[in-house]
């Protein structure tokens, strides 16, 4: 855990980004607002409408990692984006259009990842 640059006074490492996606078969692009994790977690395209923020060093520890995102879903058109902790190496992001997983839906999606010691 020594790689973390914990936010002074708060006691946690924090990554804040705004995600946008323009196109198919590509991961979203992160506009990083703040990063005190000590590493920059890359975004990965997994499959249609499924993406991951990946940490091969497995620092997203259960009970110590918090994911805050502006998750949304519109039942009228079946569009939405959700993010959640999955395991020690990944934060999952899913985007929907017409109620099915689909690309090119993510626009100005904010996400905060906090890792506590």
CB contact at 8 A, 38 and 5: yes
Percentage of the chain surpassing pLDDT 90? Answer: 91
CA–CA gap between residue 22 and residue 14 (Å, rounded):
26
pLDDT digits (tens, 9 = 90+) for 37-53: 999 999 999 999 999 99
CA 64 to chain centre: 16
State yes or no: pLDDT of 69 exceeds 60.
yes
Mean pLDDT of the chain: 92
pLDDT of residue 107: 95
* Mean pLDDT value across residues 56-68: 95
Secondary structure letter of residue 6 according to DSSP: P
* Mean pLDDT value across residues 85-91: 97
pLDDT of residue 1: 41
pLDDT of residue 2: 44
CB-based contacts of 98: which residues, under 8 Å, 6+ apart? 77, 78, 79
In sign, the C-alpha dihedral spanning 89, 12, 19, 101 is positive
Question: Radius of gyration (Cα) for the chain, nearest Å?
Answer: 14
Number of C-beta neighbours around residue 107 at 10 A: 13
């Amino acid at each position: 855990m020594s790689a973390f640059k914990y936010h002074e006074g708060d006691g946690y490492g924090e990554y804040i980004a705004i995600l946008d996606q323009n196109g198919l078969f590509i991961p979203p692009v992160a506009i990083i607002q703040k990063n005190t994790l000590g590493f920059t977690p890359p975004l990965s395209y997994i499959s249609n409408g499924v993406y991951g923020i990946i940490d091969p060093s497995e620092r997203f520890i259960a009970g110590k990692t918090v994911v805050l995102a502006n998750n949304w879903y519109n039942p009228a058109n079946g569009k939405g984006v959700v993010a959640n902790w999955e395991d020690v190496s990944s934060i999952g992001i899913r985007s929907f259009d017409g109620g099915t997983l689909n690309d090119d839906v993510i626009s100005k999606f904010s996400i905060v990842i906090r890792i506590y010691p």
